[in-house]
């Protein structure tokens, strides 16, 4: 959802260099002045880990300067990484606060320990801005913070949780509120407690019910 443009690339000695990007079709050289949209930019260095860490830090300083460390944890823990933030959630989600900043690109945000069977996304407090996101199968969610556009308090991770981890849950934003859809994929009836995380769009206990095996349970939550 961003675009980067190659203006000039130089080696440490000042000589010209070039950049490559990789995809499923192989690598392609990037010409100076060319642009390419991207969802997430991952940089790799063909060097050993100690030198790569140093190069990561140099690029981070160039892009973000001293501003990149201005993320405060409200719930959860911030684990700083060179190009953004790796955060650990509490009870399903991470809540943080970030001020308005003028950056050259978005700050990558990595949220660990996310249940891919439950609704996951990014929610900005007071802005009614919900961005659904899909974590990978390892339970890691990737997104970007763009404090030049959205700043303040946000919550990222599982926005709805349940005491039965195998339940399949979806969250839909409606005109008059929210709708939570719970599916029981097991072969037995289960009593489930559905809860919205603190800092999310529907915080607190939502409902409790016994869901027959293989059926759905629809919950409407008013604003």
pLDDT digits (tens, 9 = 90+) for 40-65: 455 555 555 566 566 566 666 665 56
Going by pLDDT thresholds of 50, 70 and 90, the confidence category of residue 76 is: very high
Using a pLDDT cut of 90, give the percent of the chain over it: 44
- Give pLDDT, residue 75: 94
CA 211 to chain centre: 31
152 and 179 inside one domain:
no
User: Per the domain annotation, does 62 fall within a domain?
Assistant: no
Please state the domain count of the chain.
2
Question: Is residue 66 classed as helix, strand or coil in its secondary structure?
Answer: helix
Indicate the residue among 103, 128, 158 that finishes a domain. Answer: 158
What's the number of CA atoms in the CB half-sphere (13 Å) around residue 211?
A: 25
Domain-located, residue 103 = yes
Q: What is the mean pLDDT of residues 29-50?
A: 58
In a domain, 50, yes or no: no
Q: How would residue 106 be classed by pLDDT, with cut points 50, 70 and 90?
A: confident
Residue 195 is assigned to a structural domain of this protein? yes
Q: What share of the chain is helix, strand, coil (3-state, %, to 5)?
A: 10, 50, 45
Cβ(181)–Cβ(218) below 8 Å? yes
Query: Cα(21)–Cα(11) distance, rounded to whole angstroms?
Result: 18
Same domain, 79 and 134: yes
- 143-166 as b/e: b if 16+ CB within 10 A: bbbbbeeebebbbbbbbbbbebee
Q: Is residue 58 part of a domain?
A: no
Q: What is the per-residue pLDDT for 113?
A: 93
End residue of a domain, out of 103, 138, 158: 158
| Contacts of 35 by beta carbon, 8 Å cutoff, 6+ apart | 3, 4, 5, 6
Considering the domain architecture, whether residues 154 and 192 belong to the same structural domain is answered as no
Do 145 and 121 have their domain in common? yes
pTM: 0.71
Given a contact cutoff of 8 angstroms between Cβ atoms, the answer to whether 89 and 136 are in contact is no
**121 confidence band (pLDDT: 50, 70, 90):** very high
Where does a domain end: 133, 158, 183? Answer: 158
Question: Within a domain: residue 204?
Answer: yes
The domain of 201 spans 161-222
Residue 36 is assigned to a structural domain of this protein: no
Residues 122 and 171 in one domain: no
Among 100-109, 132-141, 146-155, 158-167, name the most confident range. 158-167
pLDDT for the residue 138:
86
């Amino acid at each position: 959802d961003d675009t980067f443009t190659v203006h000039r690339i130089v080696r440490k000695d000042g000589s010209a260099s070039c950049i490559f990007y990789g995809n499923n079709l192989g690598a392609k050289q990037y010409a100076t002045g060319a642009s390419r949209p991207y969802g997430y930019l991952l940089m790799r260095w063909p060097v050993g880990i100690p030198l790569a860490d140093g190069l990561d830090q140099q690029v981070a300083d160039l892009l973000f300067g001293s501003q990149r460390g201005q993320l405060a944890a409200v719930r959860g823990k911030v684990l700083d990484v060179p190009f953004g933030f790796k955060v650990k959630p509490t009870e399903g989600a991470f809540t943080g606060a970030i001020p308005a900043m003028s950056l050259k690109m978005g700050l990558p945000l990595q949220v660990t320990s996310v249940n891919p069977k439950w609704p996951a996304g990014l929610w900005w407090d007071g802005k009614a801005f919900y961005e659904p996101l899909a974590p990978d199968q390892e339970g890691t969610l990737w997104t970007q913070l763009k404090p030049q556009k959205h700043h303040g308090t946000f919550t990222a991770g599982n926005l709805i949780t349940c005491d039965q981890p195998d339940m399949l849950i979806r969250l839909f934003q409606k005109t008059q509120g929210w709708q939570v859809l719970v599916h029981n994929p097991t072969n037995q009836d289960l009593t489930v407690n559905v809860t919205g995380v603190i800092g999310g769009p529907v915080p607190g206990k939502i409902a409790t019910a016994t869901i027959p095996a293989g059926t759905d349970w629809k919950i409407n939550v008013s604003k």
